[in-house]
Amino acid sequence: MKKEGNSATFIFIFLGLLTAFGPFVTDMYLPSLPVMTIYFNTSVSMVQTGLTSSMLGLAFGQLLFGPLSDRYGRRLPLLVSLVLFAAATFACLFAPSIEVFVALRFLQGIAASGGIVIARSIATDKFKRKNLAKALAIVGAINGVAPVAAPVVGGALSEITGWKGIFVILLIIGCVLLGFCVRFRESLSHQRRSKEKLSKSFRLFKPVLKNRRYLFYTMELTFAMAILFAYVSSSPFIIQQHYGFSALAFSLFFAANAVAIGTGAAISVKFAVPQTCLKISAVGMVVCSVVLATAMAADVSVWCFEGLLFVLCFMMGLSFTVATTLAMDAARKQAGTASALLGAFGFLSGSIVSPLAGLGNIMISTAIILVLASLGAALFACFAIRSDA
């Protein structure tokens, strides 16, 4: 490692780990929910509240760490967030009740949010244009794959370690990231930092929210993330309860769809004009969602359901990377704050659609959310592309 900075390889690995951090915090323990209802002697819905509270923590925490990273640099807020995460995760292992566990999950989400928001900021600090697109392609791909892959990893671990073992693994991951952070050299120079006092740092949200180009791309990504979280929250019940497959088979479906998202994210950087990729993904998500919703209402076979879902995941992968890159490029001067809002909107959408997907007939409620979210993504994609014209 050079004294003047970190190598590109170190940065890419660090960014990848930080980006996967948040989704693993929210989703890795999903396969253990039934066991946790017995452990805490509570209802399924109460245990699921831990998922919602962590998403809310991830959303609001980014609004905190974004401005802090613009004011104090990337390294110090990241160190604070990782230490806080380690403490909250350790406490989760000894939570005496479900209420305490849910509160600790909120704190855990806030802490993990520092990694997500600062990862995008570091990428914007270190790279420009094509290289920025490549760096954010990694961020976008992992941001799409991690929420899908985390339950697969958690399912495998839960068979061996139980739910507490999963939290031990999360604690270890946090400590590894802390080690990376110690080696990380600040990417935001003192000259480029916000000169506002801490009490006024949050005023940076105002100019970012007034940036119409940034806001349109952010809202496109928010609706695309709503599709993802609707799928993540409903698919365990659809695959295992509706179609009658085992937990192992459910993990294989998840893995296949993770590949689809990752492939879409990787292909997106091949487009010479990113707006063209966004058009294709927006139209593709609408078409796939409408066809999939119709198929779900008709109660088609699981193979038809999975085939359509696979294509939809691919279209989401295209959208995640392009929308993230264009949004961050539009608000380069306030990268930390812009990254905070970008992530906060995404996880807020997840905290909203996750419980809605389980209302009534899960096939119908999920189908409705998929269609509405895809239409919202397409609408804001249109606004965003027009703002670039």
pLDDT at 1: 37
Q: 295, 327, 157: which is closest to 225 by C-alpha? A: 327
pLDDT at 217: 94
pLDDT at 350: 83
User: Tokens 């566990």 identify what position?
Assistant: 101
DSSP-derived secondary structure for 179-230: HHHHHPPP-S-GGGS--S-HHHHGGGHHHHHH-HHHHHHHHHHHHHHHHHHH
pLDDT at 380: 95
Structural contact between residues 154 and 27, judged by C-beta atoms closer than 8 angstroms = yes
Q: What is the pLDDT along the chain (389 residues), one digit of tens a residue?
A: 344 567 777 887 888 788 777 778 877 877 777 778 789 988 766 777 787 888 889 888 888 887 788 888 888 999 999 999 999 999 999 999 999 999 999 999 999 888 877 877 787 787 776 666 667 666 666 766 676 677 777 777 777 888 888 899 899 989 999 999 888 888 888 887 777 676 666 677 888 888 899 999 999 999 999 999 888 878 877 887 789 887 677 778 887 888 898 889 889 888 888 899 999 999 999 999 999 999 999 999 999 999 999 999 999 999 988 898 898 888 877 777 787 788 789 888 888 887 787 777 889 989 999 999 999 999 999 999 988 76
Residues facing residue 5 across a β-bridge = 2
Q: 283, 242, 281, 333: which is closest to 144 by C-alpha? A: 281
Domains annotated for the chain, with CATH where assigned, are 8-189+201-388 (1.20.1250.20)
State whether residue 65 is helix, strand or coil: helix
Q: Tally Cβ neighbours within 10 Å of residue 259.
A: 17
pLDDT at 3: 46
pLDDT at 298: 92
